[in-house]
């Protein structure tokens, strides 16, 4: 078992250790790894992601190996995955250096999570069932089906008040039996031995093996960004400290740019967007109405110009400047305005498409015809007896395939 130095000092960034084991690369795990007798590198655990950094023969050596990931086995052994372990051997004394910026960020996020989870308990008795720390944001899942905006804002305010009070963040170790009478926010599994507790006096007490700040003021601000429903409750996305500052700056820059595009003040942006959406919906309704009127006029002209052959009118048309929605609408108009119509239509705009449609009561199978056509043209498609559509690939053969099919229908 590795001696976990970060348990007692989360601000320990450099340390000396001895190599206990070197695990070479395999087909299943191409990255070599080493086991040290003691380490300050935090492994992925409890929702917190791993530390990175370097291992070298001594603190002045240029022969450094990058620590790219850290994991922990069930027996407490910590594995350090390295970019290069060619020079590492068992028994070697090494110097470890944790990436301090990454560690500080993780401490802010994890301590912030403890304060935020406690805030939801204090205000609404909502328990946190899981915690996730990502590269860009963190999240907690709360045991509730719904969360109002007022609840989110209240929890955020209380959490930041605790930050501003700069309360100490204490670490202590107790037995499993002792923990039962201490009022922990969440009891750990009963099979644990000695427990490491993280305490924010008179606000939160939790069992946790992660790295944490020394006082809540070091968390910096806590910013809640969004909520969403998930399988086990409601997920709350948040960021803390310097990450919150970066996120707020990015959000502000994006909003400011959007506001400039609308020639609006930042606070007027929602109203400007709603106005644009209303105008877009109105324009879409007008466009759809005009397209329907156009399709009907085109259908009337086509029917007037198409001769009757064997009691039917077969319409064949390929459009270079129309899309699938128009030819579907045109096909519907053609086959509803008269009873004996079969339309074979194609559109080349945006995405090549073909539509086969017949008036109700006609004896042909448009779905079968579509399969025959696409067998020659490539692509996928299908449909019912009276209407089918597809996306052809061999466009050079499209005119001849449609004409051959039209002749087959005329002569049936």
Asked if residues 42 and 32 have their Cβ atoms less than 8 Å apart, the reply is no
pTM: 0.75
Is residue 364 scored above 80 in pLDDT? yes
- 365, HSE (Cβ side, Cα atoms, 13 Å): 6
What confidence score (pLDDT) does residue 189 get? 65
Q: Which of 181-185, 235-239, 240-244, 391-395 has the lowest mean pLDDT?
A: 181-185
Asked if residues 320 and 348 have their Cβ atoms less than 8 Å apart, the reply is yes
Reported confidence tier of residue 59, pLDDT bands at 50, 70, 90? low
What confidence score (pLDDT) does residue 6 get? 94
Reported confidence tier of residue 75, pLDDT bands at 50, 70, 90? confident
Reported confidence tier of residue 27, pLDDT bands at 50, 70, 90? confident
Is residue 191 scored above 70 in pLDDT? no
- Give me the mean pLDDT over the 171-181 stretch: 86
- Give me the mean pLDDT over the 176-187 stretch: 82
- Give me the mean pLDDT over the 30-58 stretch: 93
Distance between terminal CA atoms of the chain? Answer: 84
What confidence score (pLDDT) does residue 17 get? 95
- Give me the mean pLDDT over the 333-348 stretch: 94
Q: Read off the pLDDT of residues 9-20 as tens digits, 9 standing for 90 and up.
A: 999 999 999 999
Is residue 100 scored above 60 in pLDDT? yes
What confidence score (pLDDT) does residue 176 get? 83
Is residue 144 scored above 60 in pLDDT? yes
CA nearest to 46, candidates 170, 204, 212: 212
- Percentage of residues of the chain with pLDDT beyond 70: 98
* SS3 letters across the chain: CCEEHHHCCCCCCEEEEEEEEEECCCCCCCCCEEEECEECCCCCECCECCCCEEEECCCCCCCCEEEEEEEECCCCCEEEEECCCCCCCCCCEEEEEECHHHHHHHHHHHHHHHHHHHHHHHHHCCCEEEEEECCCCEEEEECCCCCCHHHHHHHHHHHHHHHHCCCECEEEEECHHHHCCCCCCCCCCCCCCCEEEEEECCCEEEECCCCCCCEHHHHCCEEEEEEEEECCEEEEEEEEHHHHHHHHHHHHHHHHHHHHHCCCCHHHHHHHHHHHHHHHHHHHHHHHHHHHHHHHHHHHHHHHHCCCECCEEEEEEEECCCCHHHHHHHHHHHHHHCCCEEEEEEECCCCCEEEEEECCCCCCCHHHHHHHHHHHHCEEEEECCCEEEEEECCHHHHHHHHHHHHHHHHCC
Reported confidence tier of residue 145, pLDDT bands at 50, 70, 90? very high
Asked if residues 344 and 316 have their Cβ atoms less than 8 Å apart, the reply is yes
What confidence score (pLDDT) does residue 405 get? 94
What confidence score (pLDDT) does residue 194 get? 84
Reported confidence tier of residue 58, pLDDT bands at 50, 70, 90? confident
The CA distances from residue 81 to 5, 43, 68, 84, 314, in Å, are 18, 11, 6, 9, 70
- Give me the mean pLDDT over the 200-204 stretch: 96
Asked if residues 341 and 335 have their Cβ atoms less than 8 Å apart, the reply is yes
- Give me the mean pLDDT over the 269-274 stretch: 94
Asked if residues 208 and 197 have their Cβ atoms less than 8 Å apart, the reply is yes
Reported confidence tier of residue 46, pLDDT bands at 50, 70, 90? confident
CA nearest to 331, candidates 382, 292, 289, 288: 292
Is residue 190 scored above 60 in pLDDT? no
- Give me the mean pLDDT over the 149-177 stretch: 95
What confidence score (pLDDT) does residue 340 get? 92
Asked if residues 43 and 78 have their Cβ atoms less than 8 Å apart, the reply is yes
């Amino acid at each position: 078992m590795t001696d976990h130095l970060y348990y007692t000092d989360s601000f320990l960034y450099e340390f000396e250790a001895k190599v206990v084991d070197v695990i070479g690369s395999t087909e299943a795990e191409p990255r070599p790894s080493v086991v040290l007798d003691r380490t300050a590198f935090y492994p992925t655990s409890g929702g917190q992601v791993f530390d990175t950094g370097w291992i070298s023969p001594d603190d002045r050596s240029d022969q450094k190996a990058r620590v790219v990931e850290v994991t922990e086995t069930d027996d407490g052994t910590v594995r350090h995955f390295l970019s290069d372990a060619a020079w590492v051997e068992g028994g070697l004394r090494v110097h470890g250096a944790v990436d301090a910026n990454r560690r500080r960020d993780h401490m802010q996020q994890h301590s912030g999570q403890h304060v935020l989870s406690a805030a939801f308990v204090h205000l609404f008795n909502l328990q946190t069932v899981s915690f996730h720390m990502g590269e860009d944001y963190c999240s907690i899942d709360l045991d509730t089906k719904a969360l109002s905006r007022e609840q989110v804002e209240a929890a955020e305010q209380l959490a930041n008040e605790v930050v501003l009070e700069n309360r100490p963040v204490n670490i202590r170790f107790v037995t499993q039996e002792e923990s039962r009478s201490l009022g922990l926010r969440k009891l750990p599994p009963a099979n644990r031995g000695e427990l490491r507790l993280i305490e924010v006096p008179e606000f939160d007490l939790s069992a946790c093996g992660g790295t944490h700040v020394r006082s809540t003021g070091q968390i910096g601000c806590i910013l809640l960004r969004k909520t969403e429903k998930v399988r086990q409750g409601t997920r709350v996305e948040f960021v803390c400290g310097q990450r919150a500052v970066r996120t707020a700056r990015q959000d502000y820059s994006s909003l400011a740019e959007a506001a400039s595009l609308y020639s609006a003040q930042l606070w007027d942006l929602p109203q400007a967007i709603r106005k644009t959406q209303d105008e877009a919906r109105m324009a879409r309704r007008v466009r759809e109405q005009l397209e329907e009127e156009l399709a009907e006029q085109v259908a009337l002209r086509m029917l007037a110009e198409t001769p009757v052959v064997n009691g039917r009118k077969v319409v064949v048309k390929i459009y270079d400047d129309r899309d699938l929605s128009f030819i579907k609408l045109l096909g519907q108009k053609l086959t509803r305005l008269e009873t004996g119509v079969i339309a074979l239509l194609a559109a080349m705009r945006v995405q090549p498409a073909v539509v086969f449609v017949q008036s109700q009561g006609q004896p042909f199978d448009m779905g079968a015809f579509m399969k025959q056509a696409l067998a020659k043209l490539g692509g996928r498609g299908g449909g019912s007896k009276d209407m089918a559509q597809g996306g052809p690939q061999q466009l050079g053969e499209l005119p001849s395939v449609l004409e051959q099919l039209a002749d087959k229908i005329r002569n049936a």
